[in-house]
Amino acid sequence: MIRILPKSQSNSYSSFIRRLSSDSSKSTRRFMQTAPLASNDVSYIPYKFHQQQQSSNASSQANSESNTSSKSIPSGWERHSISRSFKDLGKKSSPQQQQTQPSQQQTQQASTTPTPTPTKEASTTPKPARKVRRTLKPRKALITLSQTAVQHLRGLLDQPEPKLIKIGVKNRGCSGLTYHLEYISEPNKFDEVIEQDGVKVIIDSKALFSIVGSEMDWLDDKISSRFIFKNPNSKGTCGCGESFMV
């Protein structure tokens, strides 16, 4: 049934349509078309769709393999299927795995390489020559005793109360130094003990540098009897010969 509008109404309706069309052409707004959210059954996301497709392909392959294996397996045997983890072993490894494999092989080779054993050449190396030890020469006596001095000193030691003679130096006389002799029973801590032909003589530690290398002798003349010294260190003596200088 067609309804015919009067002329006045048709004109107003046509003007209304023109106004709408002109307003829509002049407007610059744009609207985004939205899609409904994904449900559990159907997914509009490509990534999920791809996973579902892979899982469906994998399930179809597994079903086909199980069907083929069921045909070839006799009725008396149990059915077994290989898990997917073992099936992936035949696939090509990633470049990172290929890089790690050579490093593992190198470490295994380094661990299995035998350690070099010491050869006989090391044992036949010439040994360092031993240093020749110096032969220790007997130390020269600080002073020497003449035969007459030894005889006189031995006579002093043969007495009931033996005594030792200590030789020292004192600042006295014209030249500065004189020999000083005294009887002692025991030497001091830093004194030097000289022994010759069984006779001991003590030298004072303070007089070592003044009389070292001297010769002790016994002089018996008409005037006096005494011990005299021939000192190579002496640079001069006084007229009477009692004092000397070094």
Q: What is the pLDDT of residues 9-56, one digit of tens each?
A: 555 656 666 665 555 555 555 555 555 554 554 444 444 444 445 555
β-pair partners for 242: none
Strand, coil or helix: what is 207? helix
Domains in the chain, number: 1
The DSSP bridge pattern shows strands 214-220 and 143-145 to be: parallel
Inter-residue contact 194 to 127 (CB < 8 Å): no
The region of weakest confidence among 92-101, 103-112, 120-129 is: 92-101
The verdict on residue 19 lying in a domain is no
Question: What is the rounded distance in angstroms from the CA atom of residue 149 to the CA atom of residue 218?
Answer: 5
Question: What is the rounded distance in angstroms from the CA atom of residue 210 to the CA atom of residue 233?
Answer: 7
Nearest CA to 144 out of 226, 242, 212 is that of: 212
pLDDT at residue 127 is higher than 80: no
The verdict on residue 150 lying in a domain is yes
pLDDT at residue 181 is higher than 80: yes
Full-model pTM = 0.41
Inter-residue contact 105 to 97 (CB < 8 Å): no
* Full residue range of the structural domain in which residue 186 is found: 143-245
The verdict on residue 64 lying in a domain is no
Q: What is the mean pLDDT of the chain?
A: 68
Alpha carbon 47 to chain centroid distance?
59
Q: What is the pLDDT of residues 182-191, one digit of tens each?
A: 888 888 888 8
The verdict on residue 237 lying in a domain is yes
Q: Residue 213 maps to which CATH number?
A: 2.60.300.12
- State the sign of the Cα–Cα–Cα–Cα dihedral 67, 73, 79, 80: negative
The verdict on residue 76 lying in a domain is no
The DSSP bridge pattern shows strands 236-237 and 225-230 to be: unpaired
pLDDT at residue 200 is higher than 80: yes
Q: What is the pLDDT of residues 143-170, one digit of tens each?
A: 888 888 888 888 887 877 777 888 888 8
Reading phi first (left if > 0) and then psi (alpha if -120 to 50, else beta), residue 9 is in alpha
The verdict on residue 8 lying in a domain is no
The verdict on residue 67 lying in a domain is no
Question: What is the rounded distance in angstroms from the CA atom of residue 207 to the CA atom of residue 191?
Answer: 10
User: Could you tell me which residues come within 8 angstroms of residue 165 by beta carbon, excluding any fewer than 6 positions away?
Assistant: 153, 156, 181, 182, 183, 184, 201, 202
β-pair partners for 228: 217
Inter-residue contact 183 to 189 (CB < 8 Å): no
Strands, sheet with 243-245, edge to edge from the N-terminal-most edge strand? 192-196, 199-203, 164-171, 177-184, 243-245, 236-237
Q: What is the DSSP letter of 241?
A: S
| Summary count for the chain: helices (H), strands (E) | 7, 9
